[in-house]
Amino acid sequence: MGLTIREIRDNCVRARHLMQRARQQHFAVGAFNIDNQETLIAVCRAAQAKNAPVLVEVSDGEVKALGLDNVRDLVDNYRAEYGVEMYINLDHSPTVEDAKRAIDAGYEFIHIDVSQANHDASDVEIVKQTREVVEYAKFTGALVESEPHYFGGSSNVHTENIDYDEIKKTFSKPEGAVDFIHATGIDTFAAAIGNLHGKYPVPKELDLELLQRLRDAIECNISLHGGSGTPLHYFEEAARIGVSKININSDMRYVFRKTLEQVLADNPDEYAVVKLMPTVYGAVQKVVEEKIDAFGSAGKAIK
């Protein structure tokens, strides 16, 4: 069942209030990707156990697998069942049209990522398309997130080490962030400070001094993508500095798969898969709870 325009707008107002609380109280909200219903259950149970607000997010591949409107219905149903504060983020939307469809479906958070879809997109193209989404989102009040350029990695488990000499070339610059925000009118700036998508064999290192300079330079919210594989103390400090949203994906996928492999090996004669899944989403729930604690968002939910 679709939401009414009034319901969508009310949800977006609450989402904006959440970001304001995060800034004022120095906590970050976890944005957790879901591949399936089991992962959503894990996020809901973690949010309930920790009394924490959460974002559930889906990227283009996940939207294609689950369905844009189906995700909206699932989140609404589980939010009511578990009594949690939960919103949806469209993560790395590759096109303006995809972003608009999510806005129409009532998603409260929209990440338009022109440079991810087209690494060769010009600055003019990125600004123009981002601005178009910002203008369209005003109808519902959805919060729009973006960045002025592509930064690396992929949401997978990598075997190579991190080449920080290359990664540093894509770091955000405070003056560039100011110009981009003014040109687009976005609500949230996706910062690049050493965070990158995916899980690597070495821990990630975040440039917290750069993050502080970004926070001092810009007025809007700051998000961190590629949170998986990051030592937790970086999250604690990032939230203190003023990051409002942190994305987690690969850490959850890794635990999901490894636990599922073990459960299948331990139960070779069980073909009712539904009976095997509680152990799996229990393991994912632990990962989500760990992140919530590091983000400082435990106890911050308002239903």
The Cβ of residue 201 has, within 10 Å, a number of other Cβ atoms equal to 11
pLDDT tens digits, residue range 159-214? 777 777 878 888 999 999 999 999 999 999 999 998 887 778 778 889 999 999 99
From the list 10, 73, 91, 104, the catalytic residue is 91
SS3 143: strand
Number of domains in the chain: 1
pTM higher than the cut 0.85: yes
Tell me what pLDDT residue 228 has: 86
DSSP state of 250: H
pLDDT, mean of residues 154-158: 71
- Domain assignment present for residue 133? The answer is yes
pLDDT tens digits, residue range 104-154? 999 999 999 998 878 888 999 999 999 999 999 999 999 999 999 877 666
- Among 196, 208, 216, smallest CA distance to 237 is for 208
- Domain assignment present for residue 65? The answer is yes
- Domain assignment present for residue 101? The answer is yes
Number of alpha carbons in the 13 Å side-chain half-sphere of residue 158: 20
- Domain assignment present for residue 204? The answer is yes
Give residues with Cβ within 8 angstroms of 47, minimum separation 6: 53, 54, 82, 84, 85, 86, 288, 292, 301
Radius of gyration over every alpha carbon of the chain, rounded to an integer in angstroms: 18
Tell me what pLDDT residue 257 has: 96
- Domain assignment present for residue 301? The answer is no
- Domain assignment present for residue 201? The answer is yes
**Can 91 be counted among the known catalytic residues?**
yes
Give residues with Cβ within 8 angstroms of 149, minimum separation 6: 115, 126, 170
Tell me what pLDDT residue 239 has: 98
Q: What is the CATH number of the domain that holds 41?
A: 3.20.20.70
- Among 140, 59, 131, smallest CA distance to 105 is for 140
- Among 212, 271, 187, 199, smallest CA distance to 19 is for 187
The answer to whether 298 and 51 have CB atoms below 8 angstroms apart is: yes
- Domain assignment present for residue 181? The answer is yes
- Domain assignment present for residue 166? The answer is yes
Q: List the domain range (segments joined by +) for residue 217.
A: 5-295
